[in-house]
Amino acid sequence: MTPPRYNKVLLKLSGEALMGDQSFGISPEMINYVAEEIRSIFDLGIQIAIVVGGGNIFRGIAASSFGMDRTSADHMGMLATVINSLALQDALEKKGIQTRTQSAISMHEVAEPYILRRAIRHLEKGRVVIFAAGTGNPYFTTDTAAVLRGQEIHTEILLKATKVAGLYDSDPVINKDARFIKKITYIEVLERQLKVMD
């Protein structure tokens, strides 16, 4: 068997990817599917860290556009990521994968605090680590948290999974004529102002 190309990956999973065909919340079928896909990577011996969004439950930036205080809205969004992280942890553990959720905001009863060295040690011991609550700071998205945590744990690649399969030249949910992009560099993403990361 060919050895895996990467030894340590960080998966950024949008909250919306957990909805399935629902318009809100967590689809049991979808979270089971996601856990099974993660298990297929885990079974290759790859260290896996995950950052989960909360857009299936609450989107802070959207609430602030309707008059809610942005800091309060972002804190609510962080709580939504914790809900998703705990659901994913449960799904992974039901598949026999030891998983630890670390939260960037204090929630001792349900998650470990985010401690970099502890996260790295969990990965070295063969556990999946889920980073919840983004960076713990308002005004920063979970995409930003994924990049930050990826740098901190020295991941080799960041993979982003959303409700859209693949990368397009515009949002295929809004534009039915959006064209699929098979291959692109990050410089081209920036130059073309593609909205693939917040």
Query: Tokens at residue 185, please?
Result: 């560099």
96 close to 36: Cβ distance less than 8 angstroms = no
C-beta atoms surrounding 61 within 10 Å: 14
Q: Under 8 Å CB-to-CB from 193, ≥6 apart: which residues?
A: none
Q: Nearest Cα to 153, choosing from 110, 123, 176?
A: 123
Q: DSSP secondary structure string, 31-66?
A: HHHHHHHHHHHHTTT-EEEEEE--TTT--HHHHHHT
Taking the C-alpha atoms of residue 66 and residue 140, their distance in angstroms, rounded to an integer, is 18
Sequential pLDDT tens for the chain (198 residues): 788 999 999 999 999 999 989 999 999 999 999 999 999 999 999 999 999 999 999 987 778 778 899 999 999 999 999 999 999 999 999 999 999 999 999 999 999 999 999 999 999 999 999 999 999 999 999 999 999 999 999 999 999 887 777 888 888 888 889 898 888 887 888 888 887 777
Q: In what order do the strands lie in the sheet with 47-52?
A: 112-113, 99-103, 128-132, 47-52, 8-13, 157-161
Domain ranges of the chain: 8-163, 164-198
Domain covering 8-163 assigned CATH 3.20.20.70 in the classification: no
Give the pTM: 0.90
17 close to 30: Cβ distance less than 8 angstroms = yes
Cα dist from 40 to 19, 43, 45, 64, 146, whole Å: 21, 5, 10, 39, 21
Taking the C-alpha atoms of residue 143 and residue 54, their distance in angstroms, rounded to an integer, is 11
198 close to 16: Cβ distance less than 8 angstroms = no
For residue 17, give the DSSP letter. Answer: G
Taking the C-alpha atoms of residue 172 and residue 178, their distance in angstroms, rounded to an integer, is 5
Tokens 């985010």 belong to residue: 114
Taking the C-alpha atoms of residue 41 and residue 7, their distance in angstroms, rounded to an integer, is 10
